[in-house]
């Protein structure tokens, strides 16, 4: 099982699964909507230089979030598999 969990296909599965889970979560949807509203407001008032910084910040934030979800999901599966295979 550990070989599968290190594959690119499994990483893609985890990413998609995390997206599915958060898409169905009311709180996540509300947060996304609030972020979009603020982004629209900032776009209207920021200078080009400030907007570039904001876009970079946002990109890094999204990249981190896209890594964290699958990482935790994978670690949870690993932890669970150790729990059920460990003799009592």
How high is the pLDDT of residue 67?
Answer: 87
Torsion of CA 15, 21, 26, 32, to 10 degrees: 10
**What's the predicted TM-score (pTM) here?**
0.67
Name the residue ranges covered by the structural domains of the chain.
2-85
Contact, 10 vs 77, CB < 8 A? no
pLDDT in tens, 25-84: 999 999 999 999 999 999 999 999 999 999 999 999 999 988 888 888 888 888 888 777
Count CA atoms within 13 Å of residue 33 on its CB side: 7
pLDDT in tens, 3-42: 777 788 888 888 898 889 999 999 999 999 999 999 999 9
Tokens of 85: 């295979």
């Amino acid at each position: 099982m550990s070989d599968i969990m290190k594959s690119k296909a499994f990483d893609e599965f985890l990413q998609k699964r995390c997206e599915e889970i958060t898409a169905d979560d009311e709180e996540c949807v509300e947060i996304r909507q609030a972020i979009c509203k603020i982004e629209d407001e900032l776009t209207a008032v920021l200078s080009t230089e400030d907007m570039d910084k904001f876009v970079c910040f946002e990109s890094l934030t999204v990249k981190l979030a896209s890594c964290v979800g699958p990482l935790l999901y994978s670690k949870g599966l690993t932890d669970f598999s150790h729990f059920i295979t460990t003799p009592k």
